[in-house]
């Protein structure tokens, strides 16, 4: 009896230690985020003070006269991300749907394996491939299709490469989401006379809404902050996008290009750009959460 009690006490102690470890690990996450924010803000302060709100809407980037504007980098980031999502989301949706619903195991297993492998390819490989293979291809493609001499570097090229990069991520998660839909639901729907398309729309999509959205936002998060692959193919100039074929930059590419040589106000400007990137990611997360809550409510979950 006594030994049992002792053991019980020990367990109690162990539980407490475990709790402390868990809580401190969780707190550490908050601390890191807060630390990053404070650090970025601290170093960005000189630039914030100097350029104010104008920083966000000015496209003047003049290192000689120390005048900087973030509009090209911000718009470039948003445009490349939008192109990437527009291509990657529908394709991954269809691929995931096919893999789960209609492909035979002999087909879906190797494709699924390839998908997981693609997700593990480092981004610099995509960048190199983009530079040496895709850019010459785009030059020819655009010339043949439109007759325009296109140098190959720009937002469209970057967007397509980003799409290829995030596609495996989105697709792998969507596949898992579709897999989790209870077969009973689908069978019931088919039994009630629903078509494949109706089952996809009304059962799979609704049931997995949260997961699908999560997949999209994971891809989006990667596309927003991607550096190396974009750096190689975006053209690296401080210009607001004029067309899909025009060259420009993104926030991450601007940081990578300028950081090693930055001093004085430029360094502060780069920290402010970093802060903006972080805030964009945060805003995306918040919007995603809100949207998710709304979808859940519509579905009757409380």
Binding to another protein by residue 243, rule CB under 8 A?
no
Number of Cβ atoms within 10 Å of the Cβ of 210: 17
Nearer to another protein, 63 or 211 (CB): 63
- Pick the stretch among 133-141, 167-175, 198-206, 281-289 that binds another protein (CB under 8 A): 133-141
Measured from the CB atom, the residue of 139 and 281 that comes closer to another protein is: 139
Distances in Å between the Cα of 75 and the Cα atoms of 148, 208, 242 are 24, 32, 11
Q: Do residues 237 and 199 make contact, with C-beta atoms less than 8 angstroms apart? A: no
CB count in 10 Å sphere of residue 269:
28
Contact between 136 and another protein per CB under 8 A: yes
Nearest-angstrom CA–CA distance, 25 and 194:
48
The C-alpha atoms of residue 53 and residue 169 are separated, in whole angstroms, by 36
Task: Tell whether residue 62 is a contact of another protein (CB under 8 A).
Answer: yes
231 belongs to the binding site for another protein (CB under 8 A): yes
Residue 64 found at the interface with another protein (CB under 8 A)? yes
Residue closer to another protein, measured from CB, 159 or 219: 159
Q: Does 268 bind another protein (CB under 8 A)?
A: no
Q: What b-and-e string marks burial along 100-123, b requiring 16 or more CB atoms within 10 Å of the CB?
A: beeeeeeebeeebeebeebbeeeb
Size of the site for another protein (CB under 8 A): 28
Smaller CB distance to another protein: residue 126 or 153?
153
Name the segment binding another protein (CB under 8 A); options: 90-98, 104-112, 235-243, 274-282: 235-243
Q: Does 271 participate in binding another protein (rule CB under 8 A)?
A: no
For the record, the structure tokens of 78 come out as 């948003």
Binding window for another protein (CB under 8 A); candidates: 1-9, 106-114, 146-154, 279-287: 146-154
103 near another protein, judged by CB under 8 A? no
| Residue ranges that bind another protein, judged by CB under 8 A | 60-65, 131, 135-136, 139, 149, 151-153, 231-232, 235-238, 247, 249, 257-258, 260-263
């Amino acid at each position: 009896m006594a030994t049992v009690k002792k053991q019980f006490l020990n367990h109690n102690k162990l539980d407490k230690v475990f709790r402390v470890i868990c809580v401190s690990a969780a707190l550490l996450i908050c601390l890191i985020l807060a630390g990053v924010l404070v650090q970025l803000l601290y170093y960005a302060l000189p630039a914030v003070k100097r350029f104010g709100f104008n920083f966000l809407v000015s496209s003047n980037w003049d290192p000689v006269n120390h005048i900087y504007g973030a509009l090209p980098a911000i718009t470039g980031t948003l445009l490349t991300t939008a192109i990437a999502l527009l291509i990657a989301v529908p394709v991954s949706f269809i691929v995931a749907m096919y893999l789960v619903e209609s492909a035979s195991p002999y087909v879906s297993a190797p494709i699924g394996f390839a998908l997981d492998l693609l997700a593990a390819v480092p981004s610099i490989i995509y960048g190199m491939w983009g530079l040496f293979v895709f850019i010459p291809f785009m030059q020819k493609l655009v010339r043949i299709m439109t007759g325009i001499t296109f140098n190959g570097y720009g937002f469209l090229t970057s967007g397509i490469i980003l799409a290829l990069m995030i596609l495996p991520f989105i697709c792998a998660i969507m596949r898992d989401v579709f897999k989790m839909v209870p077969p009973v639901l689908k069978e019931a729907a088919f039994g009630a006379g629903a078509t494949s398309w109706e089952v996809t729309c009304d059962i799979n999509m609704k049931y997995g809404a949260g997961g699908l959205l999560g997949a999209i936002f994971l891809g989006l998060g990667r596309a927003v902050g991607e550096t190396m692959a974009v750096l190689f193919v975006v053209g690296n100039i401080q210009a607001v996008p004029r067309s899909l074929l025009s060259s420009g930059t993104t926030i991450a590419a601007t940081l990578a290009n300028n950081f090693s040589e930055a001093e004085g106000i430029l360094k502060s400007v780069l920290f402010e750009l970093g802060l903006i990137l972080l805030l964009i990611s945060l805003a995306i997360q918040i919007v995603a959460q809100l949207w998710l809550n709304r979808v859940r409510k519509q579905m009757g979950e409380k």
